[in-house]
Structure formats: structure tokens, C-alpha cells
Structure 1
Amino acid sequence: MSLLKIASVACLALTLGACQSLFQPSYQKPLQSTSDKSEQIKPGCSNQDCPLVNIDTVHFADEPQLDALIEKRLLQMTRTTADQAVPATLSAYREKFLREADSRNSMYLQAKVREQHDGLVIIELASYLDTGGAHGTPGRGFINYSRELHKELTLSDMLRPGQEAAFWKAAQVAHNSWLISTKLDQEPEFIKTWPFQKTPNVALTYGGVILKYNVSVIAPYALGHIELKIPYNRLNGILKPELFPGRS
């Protein structure tokens, strides 16, 4: 092949590559969302202890799969037992809750964008059920949504094959670091009573992989929702390489 022909082929390849990149979606540009907030009390109630439902969520018009997933996950957080049926919609849940709730009962549901990077949308979910007792029942969760794949990434999606045990060993190191930073490592009774445990709440944030715990899992209720951070440099060979920030 002549040098002229090789140059022509190379130019054509470069041109096609430029065209392809031109029409690919820009995952570095944040996905636009709109806020949806509402608070409703029990119809006909006028005293200070009226049952209420407060919903603070987000919508993504350009990503309907994520929109539906957020509602599904919030609805799952309304259950008080694992075998309880999941309501059909947030509106249906609100109507049923207000119809059946006693005075001083309330439910708060929230979904917010924690951050976006490298084509990932990290949604943080929160719930708080108040049944009039000394304290309510809070819940937390994450959605790691891939805009490229149009799906939520599970822990299995995030890790290289066969690396789950190594991931949780790295999480234990992060837990030990937290104990040291809070000086709880100097309290043998605390370590015995509140040992390390796994959590389903894992988030691929830009600054590190975050593990979030519901209250009373690895620490007393009063300490709230504990967050552990695993630096990305401790996950080399464990996390899929394309999920490290800046490598997608």
C-alpha cells in the first residue's frame, strides 16, 4: 500500500472517530433533575399532632429508568417488615398512611443527588418513620446509576470476579480506621458489642467508596448513621478498573 493511501486511510479513521465522539452523550455533563417536594396531613385533622407524610424527591425526565428506580426504592423503604407488600405508588402509600395513621405518626421520605461523576449518578435515599415513641426509625440507602448502561450497579457489578471477600477485608480496614479516629478502639466493651458488619449501602463517590450503616448496626442509635470510606488506591485489583474516577 502506498504512503498516500495509508495517509488517506488514517485521515478517514480520524474523521470517523471524531464523528463518533461528536454523537456520543457527554457523561461528564451532569444529568439534569427537578425537585419534587410535598407535605400532607391527614384530611380533616386540625390539631398539632396530625399524622403527616413528607416526600422530598427528584425526577429525571431524560432518564426514565432512574426515575422509576428512585420511586421503587423509596416505596421499599416504607415497609416495616420484610414480608410486607410494597405500595404501588408514592401517592397510594401517602393516602393509605394518612387514612390509617394515629396521632403523632409521620413518615418522611427523601431522595437526593449526592453527586455525579464519570457517567454515574449517586442517589442517597432516606426515610424516617415516627410512631410517637421516644425516637423514630430512620433508614438509608444508595443508588449507583450508570447512565451508559441505564441500570443500577450492584456490588457484583462493581467488583472483579471473585473479589467480594477482598472488598469486605478492605471495608474492615476502613472500620478499624474509624474506630481509631473516634478513639472507640480504646473501649474493649464497645468493640465486643458493636463488631464490624457488612452493609448493602455502598456508594461509588468521587472521593472514595462509601459504606453507610443504618442506626444500631455497628454503633448505638445515638451515633446515627456511620459512614466508612475506602480509598480507591486500596481497591486496585478489586474494583473494576472502569469504575475508578477518571478512567471511564
Structure 2
Amino acid sequence: MQLLKVTLFATLALTLGACQSLFQADPNAPISAERLAWEHTQAGCQGDDCPLVNIDTLSFAEEPALNSLIEHELLEMTGDSPDAQLPASLKAYEQAFLQSAEPGWNSYLQAKVREQHDGLVIIELSSYLSTGGAHGMPGRRFINYDRKLHRALTLQDMLLPGQEQAFWQAAQLAHQGWLVANKLDQDPEFVKSWPFQPTENVALTFGAVTLKYAVYSIGPYASGHPELKIPYPRLNGILKPQYFPGRG
């Protein structure tokens, strides 16, 4: 009788363990985020030119490390000089900006999910700061967050050892394709004035690796934030195999 009880208990434990394993979250399945958005104007100000701060960000219950990273990157994008001190929080930034802002000044910060696939969450960050002048300055950044590693990936994390030069050669080919697609290759002055250069904004998007550029980098302000696309087949032997969509 005692042996039967032990056997039944062991069988039940195995069954429960199998059920738990069966219903564990799929690390490759998309995760949800809570949107946190607000807009405030300068206290006591009335009229169309009141300074304002607009923040539209995300919070992931399952990935607190990603939440901290998003806030840190957005705060870095608020700096208007290389030696600017990083605010303690988005709320602290908003308070300081509105206290010192002049009429017409405004600041926008946004984080959105661009894509999720293969255990990666691709976040696109946007900023726009206007403090006078003909136009404001927009900014863009990417976060490639690996949910299996619980951290953001650098370009070196994505590439096989010693392949960084080959990656930028592939990017330069994509740049040539961008020039042709926009008929800019027919403008010798444009080609001379706005040559190819690397960018820190590289995203492992599903259809192709995406490179996004700041204004005034490979084109004038009117060009906005140009995007270059490198097809994954062109990155065989360059990109680590696990970062090809469907292989991870």
C-alpha cells in the first residue's frame, strides 16, 4: 500500500511538471507593453506658444531591465550638448525644462515597439527638441533587446568576430541602392556633399537589417532620417547565425 502511494505521488508530480513545461511562456512570442503618455505645459502659461513637454513611452511588466534602458536612452536624447548632465528621470527632465523654457519651446520624447521576433524586441526611440531657430532637432535611436540575455545588443554582439568591416561594406552597397532608388546618384553635388558613413542606429528588423541615420548625416535636413536596408542573405558569414530571423 505504501509503495502504491509513493508511485501515485511520483506519477502526479511528473504529470504536473509536464503541464507546467507545456504552458511555459514561449520566449519567442511577443510580449505586451503598457503605454505611458502625458503632455504638460508651463505652469501659469496661456496661449499657443506655451512651452510644453510631451512624453510617450512604454513599460514592460516582464522586462524591467528594458524599462530602465528605455528611460536612460530617452534621457540621453534630451542633451543639447556633449557635456550635458543626464537628468535623474523623465519627470525630473520635464520639470527642469518647463522651469527654464521660453515661449515656443517644446520637447517630444517617444518610445515605440517597432518589431518583435525571434526573442528580440526592437524599440525605436524618437525625440524632437525646439528651442528657437528655423526648426527643431529630431533624433532617432534603436534598442535591440534580447529577451534570452535580458539586455540590449551591441553591433559587436550581432556580428561574427572580425566582420565589422565587411558589415560596413554591405551597408555601403545599401547606401548606393538608396541613392539610386531616390535618383540622388544623378546629382554629383549631392553625392560629393553627403558621402556614406556608419551609424550607431542598427536594428535587426525582420525583413532586413535596418540602418537609420540622423539628419545632416548622409543628407540635408529635408531628407529626414534616411533608412538603409541590408538583406539578410548579404550578411551570410557576417552576422551571427542566431540573429537571422527564423534561426534563433
* TM > 0.5: yes
| 8 Å contact kept, 2:28–2:120 | no
Which residue of the partner structure matches residue 162 of structure 2? Answer: 162
**How far, CA to CA, are the matches of 1:225 and 1:215 in structure 2?**
6
Aligned-pair Cα RMSD in Å: 1.5
Q: How does 1:1-248 map to 2 (within 5 A)?
A: 22=22, 25-248=25-248
**How far, CA to CA, are the matches of 1:75 and 1:178 in structure 2?**
31
CA deviations over 1:88-147 (Å, ceiling 9, x no partner): 100000000000011100000000000100000000000000113211000000000000
Give the gaps of 5 or more residues in structure 1: 1-14
Deviation at 1:149, TM superposition (A): 0.3
Deviation at 1:21, TM superposition (A): 6.0
Query: What amino acid does structure 2 have at the position aligned with 1:223?
Result: S
Q: Secondary structure at the match of 2:53?
A: strand
Q: TM-score, normalising length from structure 2?
A: 0.91
**How far, CA to CA, are the matches of 1:22 and 1:243 in structure 2?**
26
Q: Secondary structure at the match of 2:178?
A: helix
**How far, CA to CA, are the matches of 1:196 and 1:67 in structure 2?**
33
Deviates more, 1:150-159 or 1:128-137: 128-137
**How far, CA to CA, are the matches of 2:142 and 2:24 in structure 1?**
27
Query: What amino acid does structure 1 have at the position aligned with 2:203?
Result: A
**How far, CA to CA, are the matches of 1:161 and 1:201 in structure 2?**
20
Taking a change above 3 Å as real, the CA distance of residues 51 and 145 of structure 1, as seen in their structure-2 partners, is same
Deviation at 1:57, TM superposition (A): 0.7
Q: Secondary structure at the match of 1:238?
A: coil
**How far, CA to CA, are the matches of 1:20 and 1:247 in structure 2?**
26
**How far, CA to CA, are the matches of 2:197 and 2:211 in structure 1?**
11
Runs of 4+ more than 3 Å apart: 18-25
Tell me how many residue pairs correspond in the alignment. Answer: 232
Deviation at 1:27, TM superposition (A): 2.2
**How far, CA to CA, are the matches of 2:114 and 2:187 in structure 1?**
33
Q: Secondary structure at the match of 1:72?
A: helix
Which residue of the partner structure matches residue 3 of structure 1? Answer: none
Query: What amino acid does structure 2 have at the position aligned with 1:227?
Result: E
| 8 Å contact kept, 2:199–2:213 | yes
Give the gaps of 5 or more residues in structure 2: 1-14
Query: What amino acid does structure 2 have at the position aligned with 1:87?
Result: P
